[in-house]
Amino acid sequence: MIRHDDRRPASGHIRQLRPSDLPKFREHLLRLDATSRHDRFNGGLGDGFVAAYAGRCFANGATVVGYIEGDDVLGAAEIHECAAETSPTGEIAFSVEPALQGRGIGALLFERLLAHARAMGYARLRVTTHPGNARMKKLAQRFDARLTFRAGETVGTIELEPLPRIGARQTQPWWPLRALRRAGRASRKNARVQAGPLLPALHGEATPAHR
Ligand SMILES: CC(C)(COP(=O)(O)OP(=O)(O)OC[C@H]1O[C@@H](n2cnc3c(N)ncnc32)[C@H](O)[C@@H]1OP(=O)(O)O)[C@@H](O)C(=O)NCCC(=O)NCCS
């Protein structure tokens, strides 16, 4: 049972969700309160839509990374391929359960999602939210998103560096995205301050799953 008024420190880990994690992912999305659900989906949507959406994510091959405590998915970050674009483009989205928001988990999910996106060869990522979603806008800016405003929406665009060619001399880590490193430093600082025991669990799994 998850208590939304529980201000316990975050103590989980982040990993890519497996197909069998679908029920836990669906439960996570259904637990978002009205405000978070509105912020996540840019509108007030019913349980039926949210449950079907979770199923579509898995059925359509989205990459979903989860923040997990015990048996529960309490946060998630998704990449959905925009197949119609000429260069590999992904639409990304984030959700952290209300009781855990503002503790740096969104930044850690963002950091991990960037590593997955780059490993999958995406050239560009887009994140869309409504202009009043200050937390999401701040998060996107921290990861070097260029924000534009159109038709009542804020769209953040992140350009990813191409993967190094095999044989190219590696003077940097394999994921040398400047923003990723900078954000990593910042989120580790955040994790120390805000997430307590989250840090060892995350650092134990610091290598992206696609490596
Ligand atoms: C948006 C969301 C994923 C962010 O996750 P989070 O764990 O709360 O984010 P973090 O704690 O990492 O904080 C993100 C940034 O917002 C800032 N922030 C925290 N509370 C804030 C507030 N009330 N107003 C403005 N900014 C705030 C943090 O300082 C941080 O900025 P920094 O990196 O420059 O320090 C989460 O709040 C959420 O799930 N919201 C509902 C769904 C949603 O809006 N999804 C995004 C649309 S796809």
The neighbour count for residue 12, using CB atoms within 10 Å, is: 22
Query: What is residue 58's predicted lDDT score, i.e. its pLDDT?
Result: 97
Query: What is residue 151's predicted lDDT score, i.e. its pLDDT?
Result: 83
Query: What is the chain's mean pLDDT, rounded?
Result: 83
Best of 38, 139, 194 for a ligand 1 pocket test (most atoms within 8 Å of beta carbon): 139
* Gap between the Cα atoms of 204 and 107, Å rounded: 17
Tell me the CA–centroid distance for residue 138 and ligand 1, in Å.
7
Q: Is the pLDDT of residue 188 over 80?
A: no
CATH number for region 13-159: 3.40.630.30
Tell me the CA–centroid distance for residue 86 and ligand 1, in Å.
31
Higher pLDDT, 107 or 174: 107
Query: What is residue 179's predicted lDDT score, i.e. its pLDDT?
Result: 58
Tell me the CA–centroid distance for residue 19 and ligand 1, in Å.
27
* Gap between the Cα atoms of 191 and 202, Å rounded: 9
What atom in ligand 1 is closest to the CA of residue 97? Answer: 39
Cβ-based burial of 67 (10 A; exposed 0-12, middle 13-18, buried ≥19): buried
pLDDT band, very low/low/confident/very high, at 163 (cuts 50, 70, 90):
confident
pLDDT band, very low/low/confident/very high, at 171 (cuts 50, 70, 90):
low
What atom in ligand 1 is closest to the CA of residue 36? Answer: 41
The neighbour count for residue 182, using CB atoms within 10 Å, is: 13
